[in-house]
Structure 1
Amino acid sequence: MDYLITLITGLVSDENLARWIFLGLAFISVVTFTLCLALLITNLLNPLKKRLHSLSHISKDTTKKSAESSALDNTLESMDKYISPSSMKERNQTKTLLMHAGYEQKQALTNFYAIKIILVIFAFFGVLISSKFLPELSTQKILFYTLLAMAIATFLPNFVLQKKAKKRIQTLSNAFPDALDLLVVTTEAGLGFLAALNRVANEIDALSPELSSELQIVCRKVRLGVPLPIALSQFIERTGLLELQGLVSIISQSVKLGSSMGDTLREYAIEFRDRRMQKAEEEAAKIGTKMIFPLVTCIWPGFFTVAIGPAIIAVLEAFGGK
């Protein structure tokens, strides 16, 4: 406590004011902790939820796990309005990134912002505790490092989420041409489109479990009564494969008209395979540029030291002898 008051005194230059600020912060922390604890206990001891769980015909272990998970989800849901941003644009963008990264649960958005807040709190107290073991640091430096750690903790989850979403989209994009080839073969063999899509979803699991799962979701939605065009549009929205819009339009028209899709799917399969090859060639063309930095910093100094170093030493010795 004295250490924190000393830090605050270094900022406000008044010990009495620093004590009042510390007492205010402590009061706010206690009130916040009490409210969170009350929300948690209220959700855990809700009689309606207890009654619903007692009426369910599930095993004891499964019921216990479900109750704990439900209590946690309900607690996070009740805190959603406090931890999520008010901007709908930011919420929608984050929700889209979570879908592209494979997190489609209802509470995924709330969990994401809860993780960000927890990381910020850990960063704040981590820097304060670490600064206690470094007494040579001034108050201004401690404040700077605290703000820097909190900023990193705020933006790090966004960076990780964007990387995961981009990696998953790339994985799905690389596997889709192979799935399209299988779809051409199965439709030309006489299967209906939905049966062919289900067969492809099962066969592609060894190559890309993510794409297999997404295709199986499409098949389940169609069986439950969702129109095929809407299910395919939702597939594009979940996966982020925007280049499939044209394919979805043609499939929808073929389903409505009852025409054969073999030739159309074959053309699209060739096109997607060419796109995948072009992306691979593009990445290969970038290797030369990416190799400049390691060549200049790691390889060339050692090469010139070995190749030209003895000659330079001999020249210096020759001129030094004269």
Structure 2
Amino acid sequence: MGQTGGPTILGVDVLWVATILSGVAAFAVMVALYAATTARDPMTKRVKALNDRREQLKAGITASTKRRAQLVQRNDTADRMRTILSSMKVLQDSQLKAAQIKLLQAGIRKKEWAVAVIFGRLVLPILIGGFMTVWVYGTDGFAEWSPLKKYALVAVSLIASYKAPDIFLKNKITKRSHAIRKGLPDALDLLVICAEAGLTVDAAFHRVARELGRAYPELGEEFTLTAIELGFLSDRRQAFENLAMRVDLDAVKGVVTTMIQTEKYGTPLASALRVLSAEFRNERMMRAEEKAARLPAIMTVPLICFILPVLFVVILGPAACSIKDSMLAGK
């Protein structure tokens, strides 16, 4: 009887494997097309609300009674956590202020979340660490482990649960700072154009935020907030310092220092921003060249694990099938 199946290598049907790989590749292409065609703009609603608020502040319109009640409404959960922390005497003003600054740098505007971060540092080690301690020492779940391994597991769970809120905030701050760094040179170029066109600083910030809001929503949000603060704060220096506080980037701090100096000494704003923009573009090009230089070393593992086996199957597969058919015919 003739052979009905397809060619095989080490007992595996080559046609079946090729079909599975083709299906995976088609699914990956569909996911890539979906991700490329479904771009979302999460900051449109936020920027619109900030613009409305700015117009209200400029016109001197006070909010309605209902709106004022919503603004001054207290968060019962945050109040309970604050009461618990205050009763235990573990809530310090410096610690609360540092948590609020981290929340601002992460893009979280609600100050009551600072109490939640401090409360999480206190409660998570008790819950997770206590659960792990009972599981390790109170049950036989890790009976085969040595005492050192048990102690290490409990210690790591305690430390990780204590650091979990800070790690979460640090991750969000890093992502947000990276997104702002990408759009900063373009924003400075637009600021130069606005300054040369005769716009004021707050109008220039507002215009740049509107133009770059879609491409760089994080940067657009920060510039919109700065434009609003420049419009109603009595000290314009404070608005620039707030921008440097909300963004954890040395580049933004340099821009803020330049803006403060131009406001204080009356130096040309366009020329200073043009120099900063050129420096940031050079820095971005250097980071891109650094990543490109690391690419060969990074691609070594995927090349060995995924590309070379497929190449061997394509090159040696027909030869192996021919040798197998010859051996079967010889028998």
Q: Report the TM-score when normalising by structure 2.
A: 0.61
Whole-Å Cα distance in 2 between the matches of residues 229 and 63 of structure 1?
A: 31
The letter for the 2-side match of 1:280 is: A
Where structure 2 has 5 or more consecutive residues not aligned to the other structure, the ranges are 1-62, 324-331
In 2 relative to 1, CA 85–278 (structure 1 residues): closer, same or farther, beyond 3 Å?
farther
Please name the residue that 2:245 is paired with.
Answer: 237
Structure 1 residue 100, shift from structure 2 partner? 1.8
Whole-Å Cα distance in 1 between the matches of residues 265 and 68 of structure 2?
A: 48
Native 8 Å contact 1:77 1:107 kept in 2: no
Please name the residue that 1:208 is paired with.
Answer: 216
In 2 relative to 1, CA 150–309 (structure 1 residues): closer, same or farther, beyond 3 Å?
farther
Please name the residue that 1:100 is paired with.
Answer: 105
The letter for the 2-side match of 1:159 is: I
Please name the residue that 1:80 is paired with.
Answer: 85
Native 8 Å contact 2:136 2:150 kept in 1: no
Match of 1:288 among 289, 296, 304: 296
Match of 1:274 among 272, 277, 282: 282
Structure 1 residue 169, shift from structure 2 partner? 0.7
Whole-Å Cα distance in 1 between the matches of residues 259 and 72 of structure 2?
A: 40
Where structure 1 has 5 or more consecutive residues not aligned to the other structure, the ranges are 1-55, 315-322
How many residue pairs align between the two structures? 256
In 2 relative to 1, CA 197–136 (structure 1 residues): closer, same or farther, beyond 3 Å?
closer
Please name the residue that 2:235 is paired with.
Answer: 227
Structure 1 residue 62, shift from structure 2 partner? 9.6
Whole-Å Cα distance in 2 between the matches of residues 200 and 172 of structure 1?
A: 13
| 1:14-33 equivalence runs, <5 A | none
Whole-Å Cα distance in 2 between the matches of residues 309 and 155 of structure 1?
A: 52
Structure 1 residue 287, shift from structure 2 partner? 1.9
Native 8 Å contact 1:123 1:153 kept in 2: yes
Structure 1 residue 172, shift from structure 2 partner? 0.8
Please name the residue that 2:119 is paired with.
Answer: 114
In 2 relative to 1, CA 76–288 (structure 1 residues): closer, same or farther, beyond 3 Å?
same
Native 8 Å contact 2:78 2:113 kept in 1: no
Q: Which has the higher contact order (CA 8 A, sep 6+)?
A: 2
In 2 relative to 1, CA 239–64 (structure 1 residues): closer, same or farther, beyond 3 Å?
closer
* 1:180 is aligned to 2:185: no
**Percent of residue pairs bearing the same amino acid type:** 25
The letter for the 2-side match of 1:264 is: A
The letter for the 2-side match of 1:71 is: D
Structure 1 residue 104, shift from structure 2 partner? 4.2
In 2 relative to 1, CA 94–280 (structure 1 residues): closer, same or farther, beyond 3 Å?
farther
Would you tell me which structure has more helix in proportion to its own residues? Answer: 1
Q: Report the TM-score when normalising by structure 1.
A: 0.63
